[in-house]
Amino acid sequence: MSLTIHWTDHLTGIMRRAADPPRLLVACDFDGTLAPIVPTPAEAALLPGMEEVLRSLSTAPGVHLAFVSGRPLEDLKKRVPIAAAGFIGSHGLEMQGHVLDGVPGAAAAWRGRSPFIADAIRRRTEQLPGVFVEEKPLSVAVHYRHACSADAAAVQALLQDTVNGAREFRLQEGHMVTELLPAIGCDKGTALCALADRLGVPRSAVICCGDDLTDETMFTGLPNALSIHIGPGPTAAACRADSPADLLQLLQHVDAARRKNLRKGSCGS
């Protein structure tokens, strides 16, 4: 059982932390955070009303927005049509916007390898119904949301064998998906730290939101941030929200807090 409190029980503190810093960095995961979980990754879309609040936040005084996802950068940008934002894709391996651009050198060497790795995994999983191998620019994700538990276990064992035989890989577990990534010490947390540092935003002036195991790297990597876990389950986050719809309300409060401060003339830009 998680001891993390619901954000409405910490509303006064959240409003203060949203309003007081001269500059604020709001970083959100996409799937399960800004967009409801759907049967296949291709169907995912922003929750109705979310684009409006994000657009408003993107022009709120002193606010930097960032979207941090396991999705490839280009896919993430298509699904979140907010131009004035930073985008961190592929679990921190790709970055664009604000002051960060590009791919870490060690990850760039992976660009041509994903098709071969994906094909090898597909050949070994094609007899398992409900298993879907997704090729990404810098990684390979194997989804088993629609597979039986025995087949899901077989996939995990196969991927673990692959990693055991090659230290250049690491596995990233998510909701009914396991991802094979380059083992170069880069994750959502390290990428968000780098973004905050480049922007000159103190980590205590970061709000980070996410629903999945991969988002825990943000919560543990920025322990002074205001961290929000979406959904049930154990987490290192300070607060939780019940769903993307619940997070939408929190973001509306953050937006209102920044704009209230603007009227007082106490915020930086």
Tokens of 239: 């607060």
CB 262 within 8 A of CB 59: no
Tokens of 19: 């309003």
242 as an active site residue: the answer is: no
Measured distance CA(51)–CA(75) in Å, rounded: 16
Tokens of 76: 């993430």
Closer by beta carbon to Mg ion, 18 or else 177: 177
Closer by beta carbon to Mg ion, 45 or else 158: 45
CA dihedral angle for residue 193, residue 45, residue 242, residue 205, rounded to 10 degrees: 20
Closest distance to Mg ion from the beta carbon of 46 (Å): 13
CB 68 within 8 A of CB 27: yes
Closer by beta carbon to Mg ion, 31 or else 255: 31
CB 7 within 8 A of CB 15: no
Closest distance to Mg ion from the beta carbon of 212 (Å): 4
Closest distance to Mg ion from the beta carbon of 29 (Å): 4
At 258, the amino acid letter reads: R
Tokens of 43: 């169907």
Task: Please give the residue ranges that form the binding site for Mg ion (CB under 5 A).
Answer: 29, 31-32, 211-212
- Using the Cα atoms of residue 90, residue 95, residue 96 and residue 102 in order, give the sign of their dihedral: negative
Closer by beta carbon to Mg ion, 28 or else 226: 28
Closer by beta carbon to Mg ion, 98 or else 188: 188
User: In degrees, to the nearest 5, what angle opens at C-alpha 176 toward C-alphas 73 and 27?
Assistant: 40
Closest distance to Mg ion from the beta carbon of 31 (Å): 4
Catalytic one of 9, 29, 119, 197: 29
CB 87 within 8 A of CB 79: no
Closest distance to Mg ion from the beta carbon of 215 (Å): 6
Closer by beta carbon to Mg ion, 177 or else 186: 177
Measured distance CA(211)–CA(115) in Å, rounded: 28
Closest distance to Mg ion from the beta carbon of 186 (Å): 18
Measured distance CA(244)–CA(164) in Å, rounded: 36
Catalytic residues: 29
